[in-house]
Amino acid sequence: MKVKDGIIGLLIGDTLGVPVEFDSRELLEENPVTGMKGGGGYGKPAGTWSDDTSMTIATMDSIVNKKAIDYDNIMENFCKWYKKETYWQTPRFDIGITTRLALDNYLDGIPALECGLDGELDNGNGSLMRILPLAYIPDINYETIENVSALTHAHKRSKIACVLYVEIAKSMIENEDLSIDEHIKLACDKIKDYYADSEELKHFQRIFDDDLNDIDSISSKGYVIFTFESVIYCLKNTDNYKDAVLKAVNLGEDTDTTAAICGGLAGIYYGYDEIPIDWISTVDQIDRVLSLCEKFEAFCDES
């Protein structure tokens, strides 16, 4: 199952993107990221992860400890991250607006599955960036994936994006002999069938049509569809983990999240051993995450 392939793949993509978050594509074309570095707008050391990794491991920690998906407990972990800086290496420095408002709702006593925002403008990538652990859970169903998204991002578009991402990841976990294109197509076919009556599918049409080959048509801003398109573009236009995540970072804008989401899939597809070891060794507290990956994999095996 190799949980660490995807989770460390996500973490490394995240850490590569942190120092250049919000930098333009033009700026990164002149000064591309080629490896781990510190500094940037947040002034953090090389190998510092952001909310992408923090919320992913908060989700995993909840599932391991509860031996189930407990929506309230996941939200409690998110609030520990938000208010007590649990799951960070350094003091908290990044949180999305939609996520913050949803967690404030929970702290105000609103039930977990009613906390997420569901407006048209609430379709950032903040649930997509943390949904990968669910791909490893045997027989995970679409309703559960949607609910975990809806803890913060409750619009149907964000929910479908999370389901599609999990389906691509599951295909990679279960079918090692398929190409990236085949994994994407298999997942898209399932999504088109399951959500056949939803008008939201039109927003995924470029992914369905494999119409993502022109970099000038790719936006790497934080809208969930743009992020997903960027990830697919990077995966389809590289042939190894390192190039995939560097391409994602150097698209600019929401660099950490695009590279984290791309890195999760690239990590599964190419394997942990293809992630540069010097990048992994740069990350403070990496052993803490690797230990959690082992516990999470044991839970999934037992399930």
DSSP 182-240: HHHHHHHHHHHHHTTT-GGGGGGHHHHTT----GGG---SSBHHHHHHHHHHHHHT-SS
Among the listed residues 18, 8, 11, 130, the one whose alpha carbon sits nearest the alpha carbon of residue 74 = 130
Quick check: 1 pLDDT over 80?
no
Q: What is the pLDDT, as a whole number, of residue 78? A: 97
Are 270 and 13 in contact by the 8 Å Cβ rule? The answer is no
Q: What is the pLDDT, as a whole number, of residue 106? A: 98
Quick check: 164 pLDDT over 70?
yes
Task: Give alpha helix (H) positions in the chain.
Answer: 3-17, 25-30, 51-66, 71-84, 97-107, 142-150, 156-174, 180-194, 205-208, 224-236, 241-249, 255-270, 277-282, 286-302
Helix 180-194, helix 224-236: angle, nearest 10? 150
Q: What integer is the mean pLDDT of 186-199?
A: 98
Are 212 and 229 in contact by the 8 Å Cβ rule? The answer is yes
Q: What integer is the mean pLDDT of 253-269?
A: 98
Q: What is the pLDDT, as a whole number, of residue 50? A: 96
pLDDT greater at residue 104 or residue 90: 104
pTM given for the model = 0.97
Q: How confident is the model at residue 93 (pLDDT cuts 50, 70, 90)?
A: confident
Provide the CA 2 distance to its chain's centre, in angstroms: 17
Helix 3-17, helix 51-66: angle, nearest 10? 150
Collapse the DSSP code of 271 into the 3-class scheme (helix H, G, I; strand E, B; otherwise coil) and give the result: coil
Q: What is the pLDDT, as a whole number, of residue 295? A: 98
> What is the dihedral sign for C-alpha 233, 260, 148, 268?
positive
Q: What integer is the mean pLDDT of 31-40?
A: 96
- Length of the chain counted residue by residue: 303
- Mention every residue, 6+ apart, whose C-beta is less than 8 A from residue 138: 300, 303
Mean pLDDT check: name the lowest of 86-100, 135-149, 167-181, 246-260: 86-100
Among the listed residues 67, 64, 60, the one whose alpha carbon sits nearest the alpha carbon of residue 133 = 60
Q: What is the pLDDT, as a whole number, of residue 92? A: 83
Quick check: 292 pLDDT over 90?
yes
As its CATH architecture, domain 3-302 has: Orthogonal Bundle (1.10)
Q: What integer is the mean pLDDT of 225-252?
A: 98
Q: Mean pLDDT in the chain? A: 97
